[in-house]
Amino acid sequence: MARREVGYGGPDGPDGAGGPEEFDGPSEVVAVARTQRRIALGYGLVFVVAIGSVPVLSLSLPWWSTARLLGGMSPSFVAVAGGLYVFFLALGVAAARLARSVEDRMLGIVPGGDDPVPDR
């Protein structure tokens, strides 16, 4: 992995242009951290609501646990055995994509540009 030089980029500098290179200051990094925290808390709340909805539905709607679907499975069993896993996968992918795009936009990373961290 090549390491990017930070500092004054003179005519013979690492970027081949004159002037200092652009970098993110502490205020930008703090703003990104706050935004990422808000995103994580929002998706965490959706996760907790999804987990809590199964017992609430079982207690409030009798048919949720007594009705039978194909193979004799109740809607509650189907939701817990498979539906929640699909929902959590979609939730995780959505959260990761949103967090990545917000961070890239706030820190000025151009998609397909010269990203100093190629493993991301």
Whether residue 57 is contained in a domain is answered as yes
Whether residue 82 is contained in a domain is answered as yes
Whether residue 54 is contained in a domain is answered as yes
Whether residue 45 is contained in a domain is answered as yes
Distance CA 112, CA 99 (A): 17
Distance CA 70, CA 63 (A): 15
Whether residue 112 is contained in a domain is answered as no
Locate 56 and state its tokens.
């609430």
Residue 57's domain spans which residues? 26-107
Q: What is the pLDDT of residue 8?
A: 45
Whether residue 59 is contained in a domain is answered as yes
Neighbouring residues of 117: CB distance < 8 A, sequence distance ≥ 6: none
Q: What is the pLDDT of residue 38?
A: 92
Whether residue 7 is contained in a domain is answered as no
Residue 51's pLDDT band (cuts 50, 70, 90): very high
In the chain, the number of structural domains is 1
Q: What is the pLDDT of residue 25?
A: 76
